[in-house]
């Protein structure tokens, strides 16, 4: 047996047993050793930003590996900011936020030897200081451990909050009655889109929005569902959100027939006709699903804030005309880290009942039952949160 300084003989024997030990190891060293059957890590530090509710939000993923030979039931997660509990998730909340790697359904348990992502969303109390460091206290029950050692609480996944400047941009569209569909922070389709690309897992769409638009009767479309022109947003001008350089142009893809997702789309074609703008300082803006013939820019071209760069379409992996918009840290639309941003000036006029009602309205063309904000909320320098009705004034 190799020499292991600082370990007692008992600890040496336990260490030799392997990973399925759940004891607090006796030691004569000053450094304690504890069994941590759940390995915790944060790969992308959260970047605090201001949401359209005026609050500071932090969005990130806690990676968990169940390093045991049995099921782990995650019972409680506390998020600590500089040592103070900021958020407590009970078993029911965990069950809606914990997803096994590569899966879209959430569950509060982890099978033996598997990895899951816990999707976290912290909203800081008004006036609260942004913590410098976050860590996580996790309580779990391990089926593989002897009865007295089945309940383990451990702390880990410590991360320094990323205080890089959040970019303030102009709106990507102009006009009223836009819907911020699948926006931050608890809608699952973008915020939880963890994708394995080029050998790593990326969440490029963490802060993406699928912009839709309602007509005067609050309908997403009026007329035949499969007709592009039935959709309020179809053909609306898409705007540069800042002075920028065109980094990527994808053209030549046909418009899809609304009402069903295309079945023959490759990963390369998922964005449809798309433009990626280089905003500087490793920040890129993606505009996806545009009309091919509306795009006249080429890679390397300079654009001015507010300039029309194309028209909203329904190309690529899209079920209805909309503008998918996101910011990320490289010019890869999927293989990059999604970044938050703040839009300089907009109004929130109402909210929808939620994603389910939105999906139904997109499917059947019925009016969305909105809850109006009277008076409308004038918002400055914030990220439009999920399922709001928004007016963008021209900048």
210 vs 342, beta carbon nearer Zn ion: 210
DSSP 10-64: HHHHHHHH-TT--SEEPBSSSS-EE---EEEE-SS----EEBTTS-EEEEEEEEE
**In which region does residue 78 sit, left (phi positive, over 0), alpha (psi from -120 to 50) or beta (all else)?**
beta
The minimum distance between CB 288 and Zn ion, in angstroms, equals 7
Query: Alpha-carbon distance 99 to 117, whole Å?
Result: 5
Nearest-5° Cα angle at 253, 182 to 332: 55
How far apart are CB 60 and Zn ion at their closest, in Å? 20
Q: How far is the CB of 219 from Zn ion (least distance, A)?
A: 20
Cβ-based nearer residue to Zn ion, 64 or 288: 288
- Closest to Zn ion by CB, 170 or 334: 334
3-state secondary structure of 268: helix
Residue closer to Zn ion, measured from CB, 35 or 315: 315
Note whether 210 binds Zn ion by CB under 5 A: yes
Minimum distance from residue 190 beta carbon to Zn ion (Å): 6
Which residues have a Cβ under 8 Å from the Cβ of 377 and sit 6 or more positions away? 52, 347, 348, 349
| Stretch touching Zn ion by CB under 5 A, among 207-215, 234-242, 275-283, 301-309 | 207-215
CB of residue 161 vs Zn ion: minimum separation in angstroms? 27
Q: Among residues 22 and 207, whose Cβ is nearest to Zn ion?
A: 207
Residues 307-336 that bind Zn ion (CB under 5 A): 324
Q: How far apart are CA 323 and CA 183, in angstroms?
A: 12
Of 50-109, binders to Zn ion (CB under 5 A) are none
Smallest distance from Zn ion to CB 208, Å: 5
Q: Which is nearer to Zn ion, 288 or 389 (CB)?
A: 288
Smallest separation, CB 19 to Zn ion (Å): 40
Q: How far is the CB of 82 from Zn ion (least distance, A)?
A: 35
Told to check if 289 binds Zn ion by CB under 5 A, we report no
User: Judged by CB under 5 A, does residue 255 bind Zn ion?
Assistant: no
Contact 59, 94 (CB under 8 A): no
- CA gap 63, 183 in Å, rounded: 22
Q: Residues touching Zn ion: how many (CB under 5 A)? A: 2
In the range 113-172, which residues lie near Zn ion by CB under 5 A?
Answer: none
Strands 341-351 and 167-169, by their bridges, are parallel
Q: Which residues contact 84 (CB under 8 A, 6 or more apart)?
A: 131
Rounded least distance, CB 139 to Zn ion, Å: 35
CA angle 350, 168, 296 (to 5 degrees): 90
How far apart, in whole angstroms, are the C-alpha atoms of residue 361 and residue 215? 12
Residue 111 CA to residue 143 CA, distance in Å, equals 10
Residues 6+ apart with CB under 8 A from 282: 329, 330
Exposed/middle/buried for 214, CB within 10 Å: 0-12, 13-18, 19+? buried
Could you tell me the smallest distance in angstroms from the CB atom of residue 196 to Zn ion? 18
Residue nearest to Zn ion (CB): 324
What's the per-residue H, E or C state across 332-393? CCCCCCEECEEEEEEEEEEECCCHHHHHHHHHHCCCCCCEEEEEEEEEEEEECCCCEEEEEC
Nearer to Zn ion, 14 or 239 (CB): 239
φ, ψ for residue 198, nearest 5 deg = 50, 35
* Site residues (vs Zn ion, CB under 5 A): 210, 324
């Amino acid at each position: 047996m190799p020499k292991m300084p600082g370990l007692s003989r008992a600890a040496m024997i336990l260490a030799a047993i392997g990973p399925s030990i759940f004891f607090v190891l006796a030691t004569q060293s000053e450094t304690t050793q504890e069994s941590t059957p759940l390995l915790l890590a944060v790969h992308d530090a959260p970047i605090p930003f201001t949401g359209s509710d005026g609050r500071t939000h932090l969005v990130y993923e806690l990676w968990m590996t169940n390093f045991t030979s049995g099921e782990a039931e995650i019972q409680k997660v506390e998020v600590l900011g500089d040592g103070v509990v900021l958020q407590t998730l009970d078993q029911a909340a965990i069950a809606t936020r914990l997803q096994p790697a590569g899966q879209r359904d959430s569950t509060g348990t982890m099978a033996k030897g598997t990895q899951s992502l816990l999707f976290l969303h912290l909203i800081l109390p008004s006036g609260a200081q942004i913590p410098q460091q976050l860590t996580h206290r996790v309580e779990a029950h391990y089926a593989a451990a002897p009865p007295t050692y089945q309940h383990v609480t451990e702390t880990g996944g410590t991360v320094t909050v990323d205080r890089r400047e959040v970019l303030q941009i102009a709106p990507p569209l102009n006009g009223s009655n836009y819907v911020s569909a699948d926006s931050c922070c608890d809608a699952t389709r973008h915020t939880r889109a963890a994708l394995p690309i080029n050998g790593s897992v990326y969440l490029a769409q963490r802060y993406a929005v699928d912009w839709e638009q309602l007509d005067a009767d609050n309908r997403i479309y009026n007329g035949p569902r499969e007709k592009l022109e039935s959709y309020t947003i179809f053909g609306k001008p898409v705007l540069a959100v800042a002075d920028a350089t065109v980094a990527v142009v994808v053209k030549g893809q046909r418009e899809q027939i609304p009402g069903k997702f295309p079945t023959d789309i490759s990963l390369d074609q998922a964005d449809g006709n798309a433009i990626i703008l280089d905003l500087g300082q490793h920040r890129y803006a993606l505009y996806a699903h545009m009309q091919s013939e509306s795009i006249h820019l080429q890679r390397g071209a300079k654009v001015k804030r507010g300039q029309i760069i194309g028209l909203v379409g329904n190309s690529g992996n899209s079920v209805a005309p909309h503008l998918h918009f996101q910011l990320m840290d490289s010019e890869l639309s999927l293989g990059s880290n999604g970044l938050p941003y703040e839009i300089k000036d907009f109004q929130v006029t109402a909210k929808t009942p939620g994603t389910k009602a939105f999906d139904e309205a997109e499917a059947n063309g019925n009016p969305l039952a909105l809850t109006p904000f009277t008076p409308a909320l004038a918002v400055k320098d914030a990220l439009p949160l999920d399922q709001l009705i928004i007016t963008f004034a021209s900048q």
